[in-house]
Amino acid sequence: MAQAEASTPVVQLSTHDDDEVGQSLFQLALRRLRRDKLTLLAIGVLVTLTVLSVTAPFITGTILGIDENLTNPYNAFLAPGREGHILGTDDLGRDQLARLLHAGRVSLGIAFTAAVLSLLIGVALGVITGFYGGFIDDSVNWLITTINSIPSLFLLLIISAVLSPGPGSLVLVLGLLGWTGTTRLVRGETLSQREREFITSARAIGCSDWRIMFTHIVPNLFSIVVITLAIDIGVLILVESSLSFLGVGVKPPTATWGNMLTNAQTFFKKGPHLVIWPGVLITVTVLCLYVIGDGIRDAFDPKTVD
């Protein structure tokens, strides 16, 4: 947001102006966030889950000393707490806690990466189309209408069958299909920014289009980006689990919360803990993301009255 090496006074002025608005808005937002206990709680829970998942190999391998792939069919469906398995064992006798943490890594990883990918595409296309309009705008619009007109489930099913299955291809598919909403949003925002004074003055002193887009417009999209990211990650975690249910998600033996939950449905009476934990983790994570998204929206909305 800050533009340190601004070369001309005029640009500096305009950056300064922008900065001031941004700073104060940002500070205001932080102040508002600090009062929003619900959002803070959600952030706390989410950060904890993320840290646990990201450090899964360390936690299970080094601290707990558990091999998450070690099977023992004669030790299946152990209830939580028995024989050193904190959350019990699954249908093949694998430790559920270790599997859940590793699965969280994959699930969160897929959702986060795919959301970032679609956000990057969405913001880039949104800014460009909003800024230039004309032919580019029309073509992208055509592309968006086309993509939105094909049932997305059909696209997901087909593409995940065409690409070899795995977390990587799933990220690609979800990322490449998920950007249209962001583009529309960003395009609208860019359109309104384009007419504002600081852009006009930047133009007047001969700033390049790219510079205007990246130094003036993009920073103002901060709140949109964060909100979209939070909601999208939540939605994508759910999409991942639905795809597993339909049989086109991440394939075993790679564990995700979605395929663990789908798999456990089959024997939820033998091992209720196998259904409850992945289900609860998905729900809590998604809920936190939704709440955070709303909270940040509230905090950043300049029009909202306190």
Binding positions for other proteins, rule: CB under 8 A:
35, 37-38, 69-71, 73-74, 76, 91-93, 142, 145-146, 148-155, 157-162, 164-165, 234, 238, 241-242, 245-248, 251-253, 258, 261-263, 265-270, 275, 279, 282-284, 286-287, 290-291, 294, 297-298, 301, 303-305
In the complex, the smallest distance separating the C-beta of residue 72 from other proteins, rounded to whole angstroms, is 8
Nearer to other proteins, 183 or 262 (CB): 262
In the complex, the smallest distance separating the C-beta of residue 301 from other proteins, rounded to whole angstroms, is 7
Contact residues for 112 (Cβ-Cβ < 8 A; gap 6+): 233
Nearer to other proteins, 1 or 47 (CB): 47
Q: Write the CA distances from 285 to 45, 55, 114, 277, integer angstroms.
A: 8, 17, 16, 12
Nearer to other proteins, 70 or 204 (CB): 70
233: buried, middle or exposed (CB in 10 Å: 19+, 13-18, 0-12)?
buried
In the complex, the smallest distance separating the C-beta of residue 276 from other proteins, rounded to whole angstroms, is 10
Nearer to other proteins, 89 or 215 (CB): 89
**CA 235, CA 293: separation in Å to the nearest integer?**
12
- Could you say which DSSP state residue 216 is in? I
Nearer to other proteins, 10 or 40 (CB): 40
In the complex, the smallest distance separating the C-beta of residue 262 from other proteins, rounded to whole angstroms, is 7
Of the candidates 78, 86, 80, 93, the one whose C-alpha atom is nearest the C-alpha of residue 59 is 86
Phi, psi of 89 (to 5 degrees): -120, 160
